[in-house]
Structures are given as C-alpha cells and as structure tokens.
Amino acid sequence: MRRTGTRPELAVRSALHRRGLRFVVDRSPPGANRRRRVDVLLRGARIALFVDGCFWHSCPEHGVLPRANRDWWRVKLRGVVLRDRDTDAQLTAAGWLVVRAWEHEDPLDVAARVHLLDAGRRPVVRGRRAGA
C-alpha cells in the first residue's frame, strides 16, 4: 500500500532539494519498526516527512468511502489511519519529529514548512549549525 515516489511526493522532494535540504527517501529510521518506511527522512534534523495520499489516509477534504463494499473499506481505511498514528508514536518515541503533509498541499508550502523546522532542529556544533 505504501507506494514510493508518488507524483505529489516527487514534487515535494524536488522543492526540498531546491531549498538545499539533504534527505534520504523510503527508509525506516533507526529506532523504529523496520517495516515502517518513511517517505522523506532529514537525518540531521531528525525529521520524518510523509506525503499522505488523500484517499488512503482519509484526508478530511478529499477522503471518500467507496460505495461498493462499504464496510470492508471502512475497516480497511480506518486501519491505515490507526497504523499511521502508531507509526507517528514510534517515530516520536525514537526522537523523530513527524511531519505529515497531504498530497493535495502545495509542494512549495510543504517544503517551506519543513525548511523552517529543519533550521530549528539542526544540532549546533561549535556555534555553527551542522549539515544535514
């Protein structure tokens, strides 16, 4: 279900790159469940960024319950959200800041938000901000 490199995610990655941010993609960070992969990891600032699909992750604006097999979908989609919250809890416990963006968000806005957070979370080494 976790598809890597969806179009909205690629757009966010490209916007982050243009801002000079360094990151790795589709990894499970140290300290977290190996099966929980993160879309974009900024390791220096310990930020775990997800670009969540509106359908699968039940976006409040665009999430819909398909008419056919409604009950099955209700359970299925609820399970995805519960898994997301569990992933968030695991990552937070391991010291990561979890940032979730919706695929419908402007990738430039997402990148700007992450850039600000990144700048505030870099470890300070000898009075200078360390690289990512």
Residues of this chain that bind Zn ion (CB under 5 A) = 54, 59, 61-62, 102, 104
- 28 or 58: CB nearest Zn ion: 58
Core vs surface per residue 62-76: b (16+ CB within 10 A) or e: eeeeeeeeeeeeeee
- 18 or 78: CB nearest Zn ion: 78
Closest listed residue to residue 32, CA positions, set 52, 54, 48: 48
- Cβ 99 to Zn ion shortest distance, Å: 16
**Cα–Cα dist 117/86, whole Å:** 22
- Cβ 11 to Zn ion shortest distance, Å: 14
- 23 or 102: CB nearest Zn ion: 102
